[in-house]
Amino acid sequence: MTPPEKPGAVRQPVYLDYAATTPVDPAVAERMAACLTWDGNFANPASRSHLYGWQAEEAVETARQQVADLIGADPREIVWTSGATEADNLALKGAWDARRHGGKNGGHLIVSAIEHKAVLDTAKWLADRGVEVTFLEPDSAGRVRPGALESALREDTFLVSIMHVNNELGSINDIGALGALCRDRGILFHVDAAQSAGKLPLSVTDQYVDLMSLSAHKMYGPKGVGALYVRRYPDVRIESQIHGGGHERGMRSGTLPTHQCVGMGEAAALAAERLEADTARIAQLRDKLWQGIRDLPGIQVNSDLEHTVCGHLNLAFSGCDGEMLLLSLRQIAVATGSACTSASLEPSYVLKAIGLSNDLAQSSLRISLGRLTTEEEVAFATQHIREVVTKLGRKSA
């Protein structure tokens, strides 16, 4: 998939919410469509008594290999899920259940205070069941420092869950350094990599990761499918949270959706192939957008751009009413925070955790660029933002 040629008109509103979801790459959609109809690869991958089932299983296993290759894993370490939310739940609850069934109750869990809600809400669920949870505060740029994690580790810590890239800020954690601390102490290390897969190099071996959550729709694949990496050597034990047919080596039951697995596999392969070129181009466009608006009064970046993933730009517009700002920016599609918390009227818990006031947090926007973002769209968005913010500034003066 390449950015479309738009010599004159720019499609409006300009889509700048790639952190929420990405369009499916046409090559991915084509591979998926071939797994849906009678003349395609439609069979149940678990049907091992005939050719149709064997072909579907082969397609799923090819996709499993493609996902494994993206993160430097063995395909046998990839467990299909319905998305990163389920993968997060399976990692945390599954590790806790395995610990309980091994005769150890309670225990200590560490998560960062700005994790995705799929991790935070699961951690709170575990806390209600006797697990002691430490919510580790990030620094002012939204990163978890290795020293802060080291100070929080205890003898009874059984799992640490730290995301690679924050979904609102785009801030990048040094998961290699964090993982090394856990590995040295025999503590499981889980990483939510939904926002980093396909944007940053990943190696579960070099970065000392035991469990890693992935999402297809954040990297130009379909919604409704994801994966959990579960390290095999030394063996990481997790208990299934969905019971039925004992699929996925007993870790996640349910008939596999061949078309979605194939879609995620193709998306992963394309992401690996395009990683360097995509990240360089998107970062250049992101920086160009920032340079075009950085002189606006009261504007600030809510993260350290040197340690922010290529497409993210989280901005605060001091003195602007956040709701009015969002309503006025009708010609660009942006977000006030995570798509998963957009129903809440409260200021972003992520921005509050890094020290922003309520007013500043509520006047912040997340702009996220992606593979299809063009220079024309960036130029259009720059002009639109300048006009809107200037107009709102005059009204409030």
Which one from 35, 261, 320, 340 is the annotated catalytic residue?
A: 340
> Is residue 340 among the annotated active site residues?
yes
Please give the C-alpha separations between residue 1 and each of 5, 68, 378, in angstroms, as whole numbers.
Answer: 12, 22, 19
Amino acid at 42: F
C-beta of residue 142 within 8 angstroms of C-beta of residue 306: no
- Which residues are part of the catalytic machinery? 340
